[in-house]
Structures are given as structure tokens and as C-alpha cells.
A and B are shown apart, each in its own frame.
Chain A
Amino acid sequence: MSTILSNVTLANGKSADIEIEKGVVTQIGSLGKGIDCSGLIALPGFVDLHTHLRQPGFEASETVLSGSRSAAAGGYTAVLAMANTMPVADSAGVVEQVMQLGLEAGYCQVQPIGAVTKGLVGEELAALGSMANSRAQVRVFSDDGNCVHDPLLMQRALQYVKSFDGVIAQHAQEPKLTQGAQMNDGALATELGLKGWPAVAEEAIIARDALLAEQTGSRLHICHLTTAGAVDVVRWAKNRGIAITAEVTPHHLMLTEESVRGYNPIYKVNPPLRTKEDTLALREALLDGTIDVLGTDHAPHSAEKKDCEWEAAAFGMVALEHAASVLQDVIIGGGGDWELFAKVISSRAAKIARLQGQGALAVGEPANLTLIDPAAKRVIESKTQSKSENNPFAGMELPGKVIHTIYRGEFTVREGALRA
């Protein structure tokens, strides 16, 4: 039995009907009646390179099940789960467990990211090869939350993952330049008495790692770029032919350090919110291709982690269910098109992560696709499918709404409602 999505608008602007059968896209063309999708844009299912699902270890904030429900609600058909769990995803056993939890949840593909170093402490390499060869077939490695700051260890990690086409996703933060850092460095940090996180601490690591990637001929991905200077460094590295890719989060595209003024930890995130000029540079870089992908850095925290003094609060914010709306505002609102949108939120991420069957809406491919209503406007709510509500976008009106999410041919979201 097949499903036909009638009268969708494809990313290239053409109208078509899409037939799905046995989990695969079987035809795209003029196929006749089915589910009316007039006015909806059909895109390859979204892929998030940067999600914190918190399981195992921090189930009060999120679980693989609640996080993948949130992902599906946000239009995602695949998420890459960061390694900073407890225990850390630094061995084949943990990554296989996370993958298994994802399969059991069944809302999207949950692809584990492996730690670069044991316990994320930056001293010795984690079991990179075992994780790559495990059932989870890990290809992305990251100590996210921590920077792989030791240059020798970073060089070795880049070299090591090359043999299985892996990529190191670097959280670019020079630790000594950011000891105790609380917010963007500058006049506002001085006024608020909060320790500054200077742009150079991000940019220096990106420059170093770009050169190491060049020397080793390995793939480097930069997590959550935040500064105009970091954009310049990545642009320079790409022009030089270095295999570097870069990511930006929804919050760094739209929010600025001015939000920190009231000391409300809902705005506390690492790397920190930067200046208006930085957000403009990030938007421009997304439009010109210097930045490859949107990564949500979805970072759920239970209420008590945020209902405290700024300096005692945890870093991070949830993002899965408004990411696409922020991106629509930035890309479509910024003069880009839906093809670029699809690359940024899906196909490039799938390619960086070497995910099979994700990132393409084409005949013969697994039916992972998302249909959004670009004309809709909605007010973001703090209560979402996530277990946590640390959402600085709550109350903001943003464009676009996910109407259907289809994962391996099955609706995880249908008519805007998440499958039970």
C-alpha cells in the first residue's frame, strides 16, 4: 500500500506529488490524489549534527525517547547524539546502547557521536576504532562541552579517524583564555561584572585545527561558530582547500549578549551569545556557504539548573522544535531559497556525518522527509516534547510550522500532531 503526498512544493519551487511505498520514495511526479499538501514545502528530513539527548545519566533533563520525540516534532528524521553523557560515550558499549534506545523509541534515527578522548577529559584517545566498527558505525567524534585543546592529541585524533573516514567535531574554546568565563567578553561583561569569554579563544583554536587538518589531510568540523572572526578563519581555510565544515546554532543567529543584562540564566549558553555584528556575520556566512549547517546544540536542563544565580546555572538551551523556524527567518528572510535551506538543515549534515539514507528527497531513497507550512506564524511555547523548558525563544513569534514528518515511510508528525 502506498501513500501519496499530493501537490507539494519541492525545494526547487516545482509542484509535484510524492509516492511512498514500503518506506521508500518510489515516485515523484504527477501522480493524482492523495494527502493534500497544497502550500507545503517538501524537504529531505532534517538532520541535526548536534543534539544532547542526556541519556544515559541525565534522564531528569532528557531521554533518548523524549529527545527524539522533540526532534520529530521539529521536523528531524535524524539526530546525532553528543557524547557527554554519564557514562561518557567513549566506548562501543555506550554508543551501541544509545543507538539501541533510538531504535526502540522509533521517532528518528539516533546516531551516536563518540567522544574523542576518554571521559572527555582531553588526556588520551577514546576507543575511536571500536566505536567506528561497532553496530553504531560511529563516524563523528566530539568532546563537545570541552575543547580538545592539547594540539598533539588533536593531531593524533585527526590522523586516527582518517582511516575510517571519520570527522572530528571540535568545540573550539581555548580553556585558559576562558577560565570561569560567563558571557561574551566586552563592555557589557565589564558592566555586569561577569567574566568575559573572548572571541579569540574560539578563533585561535579554529585556526590551529584548520592547519592541523591541512597537515593531516583529515576532516574537521567546527561546532557552533559564534564570532565574525571565526567566520573569517573558516572562509580562509576553505579557500585554502582545507576539509573544514562549520555549524551555527539557531540562538547564535538570532539572540545577542544584550539578553544577558537581566542575569536570567535562560540566556546562559556556551559558547556565549555574542554581538549584533556577530549575528549578522553568521547570517551572511550561512547564505554564502562559509557555514555549512545548522546544528541545534539542543541542550535540555531541568528547572533547578536554571532557577538559580547566573554563575551557578548550567549552560545551554533547548532548540529542536524552533530551529527550522529560526532558519526560515534567516535564510528565506535573508534572500536565500529552499534549496539552500534543505542543504543547511539536512543534506550537508548527512554528508558530514556519512549517514546513509538521510539528507536526500529522491526516488529510491528511504522516505525521510519533512513538510512545512512556510506561511504559518506561531508563538514559540516553552512546553514542548522535550522534558526540559529552558527555552529563550518562548514567547517569540517565528515563521513556519512542521506539518508532517515522515521517518522511514511512517508519519512521526501528521497534521502537526506528534504520533503517540
Chain B
Amino acid sequence: MKHLISISDLTKAQAVKLLDDASELSSVNEREVKKLPALRGKTVVNLFFENSTRTRISFEVAAKRLSADVINFSAQTSSLSKGESLKDTAQTLEALGAHAIVVRHPYSGAAHALAHRGWISSSIINAGDGSHEHPTQALLDALTLRQAFGLNADLSGLNVLIVGDILHSRVARSNVLLLNLLGAKVTVAGPTTLMPNGIEKLGATISHNFDEALEQKPDAVMMLRVQKERMQGSFFPSEREYAKNWALSSERFRRLSSSTRILHPGPMNRGFEIASEAADSNQSLVLKQVANGVSVRMAVLYATLAGEEN
């Protein structure tokens, strides 16, 4: 595996292998000396065109635990700032010795362009592109579900409900694709204005009523972050109305079966899309997601930089 751009580039076997590797690598995180020499001499660049401290730090920790050298590069979007083009930035980083570029970019397809347009030959890992995909997030969510439900290969038989702003969410897209690939059933729920055209074709059942969707007793509920800037876009009448219909409130949380697990990609808007009672409960997997993020990113860096095909 040279790049990781989209979940749709993965076979089921490849996805399961990444989860297996991540499980194995997670043992490093429990050691006193949290370091493996696997990527010694390799240089990983975190190229972030959007602020995302969590994802960047997660990749940084992952790369360092594998003994890679890490360079963090924050940049502005080319066309907006009239600065250097993405192509020139990438070629510069490669000339400086980058073996892998972890890229976060506001434009959908930016990671694909770096991987496939012939600009550079480094490995490219998509850390989120526009509203397209965020594949390592989906992998860490899958690993978290696999552990929580005591599964050891795929996610067959699990029912997962994803709730919120599906329209703008790269996390939702990657999760719909990966959960399907791993045999889980996916329902997406949210206001009709935040439901993208044709999402069912990616493998999701659509619900427009959170309470009805909860009555189907999903094994896991994944709450998405509602971006503040979307709240002004008239996608829904008010924050209050959104919260009433789509928040995992204390009241909704108490109605959940005690076996239902709760996920959130973070950062959470506590008291808006998720109540603290739900986020801090023992049904919440939020901190496990963060910890698994490092393991999954170690597995992805290892597969792209030291995998068999390289």
C-alpha cells in the first residue's frame, strides 16, 4: 500500500490487516519505552492546510513511536492566499527528503492530486480532504468498535447509527464506506438539509427521526460534530431546534440500552450535540477512539512506508 487516500482504495482484507496491525502496535503504547525502530531514517511531513491540532498530534505521536523524523508544516490554501501552489509546496517537501506526506486540506481531492498527478513520488496519507474522506478516522472508529464488541476480524452484524451533519462530514463518508466494507449495517440520521444527495448509494439507510432510529436499538451511536459556521447557513432554524431533534441529550442517553456504545470524532460541542452525561458515561468510547487513533496511524504509516510493496 503506497498511499491511503480513500477507504474505497482498500480491500476488506487490507482493512482488516490494518486493524490487526494497529492492535498489535497498540501494545507499544503500553510499554515504558514507547518506541519501535520500524521507520528509523524515514521522514514524515504533516502538511496541514487546516487547523487540526488533534489529528496532527496523533500522526506526530504515531510517527515518533515508529522512530520516524517528523516535520510539521502549516500552510495556507494556495488559491485563497495567492501563495505557493500545492504542487510547489509538495515538490519542495519532497526535495527536503519527505518519504511520506500526511495531508489535511480544505479541498476535496487534494490528497488524491498529490498521490496521482505525477507531481511527487512520496507516499500520501489523507488526513482529511474537504468533505470527501478522513480514512484514518474511520479506521480508528472501526478498531474501537471491534475492541468494544470483542470481535477479532470484521464488524459483521453490528448496527451503527451516525447522527448529525452528514452533508459536510468527511468522517461520515469514510465511516459509511468502511463499515459497509467490514459487514456492519449503517444508518445515517440528521436534518434533511444536512443529508447529502445519494448517500444511500454509498451503503447507508437514511433516517430523519433520531428517536425512531434509536428504537431500532443500534449497537453504536456515532455523534458528529456540528461546525459552528454551519449554524449560520440556514440549514436548520435554530441551535435550539437542532439540539431538540438531533442531540444525544441526557434524556435520550438514558433511554439507550446499556450495551449501546457512543462514539464522537471530537472535538465535542458538549451540551449541544452531546450531553456530558453521555460523553462521560462508561458507554462512551471517545477516549478509546483517541488512543486507537495513534495505533491506527502507526499501522497506516508502517503499511505505506515499510509495507511489502515498497
Contact = CB atoms under 8 A, between A and B. Distances in A.
A321 interface: no
Contacts of B77: 312
Contact of B196 (A190, A304, A309): A190
B199 A190 contact: yes
Nearest to B49: A309
B86 A310 contact: no
A307 B77 CA distance: 15
B131 A309 contact: no
B271 interface: no
Interface stretch (A31-39, A191-199, A292-300): A191-199
Given A190-B202, A191-B202, A311 B108 contact: yes
Which of A189, A193, A196, A308 counts the most chain B CB atoms within 10 A?
A193
Interface stretch (B109-117, B243-251, B293-301): B109-117
B133 A193 contact: yes
B110 A191 contact: no
Interface in A259-318: 262-264, 304, 307-312
Given A191-B173, A193-B133, A310 B108 contact: yes
B65 interface: no
Interface residues of B, number: 28
Contacts of A307: 85, 87, 117
Given A187-B197, A311-B107, A193 B170 contact: yes
B79 A186 contact: no
B75 to A, nearest CB: 13
B108 A193 contact: yes
Contacts, number: 83
Given A187-B197, A193-B129, A194-B109, A308 B86 contact: yes
Contacts of B105: 309
A310 B110 CA distance: 7
Contact of B109 (A187, A196, A304, A311): A311
A39 B297 CA distance: 65
Contact of B113 (A185, A190, A263): A263
Interface string B180-201: 0000000000000000111101
A304 B108 contact: no
B109 A190 contact: no
A304 B198 CA distance: 33
A354 to B, nearest CB: 40
B140 to A, nearest CB: 19
Contacts of A308: 78-79, 85-87, 113
Which of A192, A262, A304, A309 counts the most chain B CB atoms within 10 A?
A309
Contact of A193 (B116, B117, B130): B130
B261 interface: no
Contacts of B87: 307-308
Interface in B65-91: 77-79, 85-87
Nearest to B106: A311
Contacts of A310: 107-109, 113
Nearest to A196: B197
A312 B202 contact: no
Given A187-B197, A189-B197, A309 B110 contact: yes
A192 B109 contact: yes
A367 B173 CA distance: 59
Contacts of A309: 78-79, 86, 105, 107, 109-110, 113
Contacts of A192: 108-109, 132
Contacts of A196: 197
Contacts of B199: 187, 190
Contacts of B107: 309-312
A128 B173 CA distance: 49
Contacts of B113: 263, 308-310
A311 to B, nearest CB: 4
A187 B108 contact: no
A39 to B, nearest CB: 42
A190 to B, nearest CB: 4
Nearest to B201: A187
Contacts of B110: 309, 311
A312 B112 contact: no
Contacts of A304: 85
Contact of A194 (B108, B117, B201): B108
Interface string A340-381: 000000000000000000000000000000000000000000
Given A187-B197, A194-B109, 7 more contacts: A187-B201, A193-B109, A263-B113, A308-B86, A309-B105, A311-B79, A312-B77
6 contacts: A187-B199, A191-B198, A193-B130, A194-B130, A263-B109, A308-B85
Interface of A: 182, 185-196, 262-264, 304, 307-312
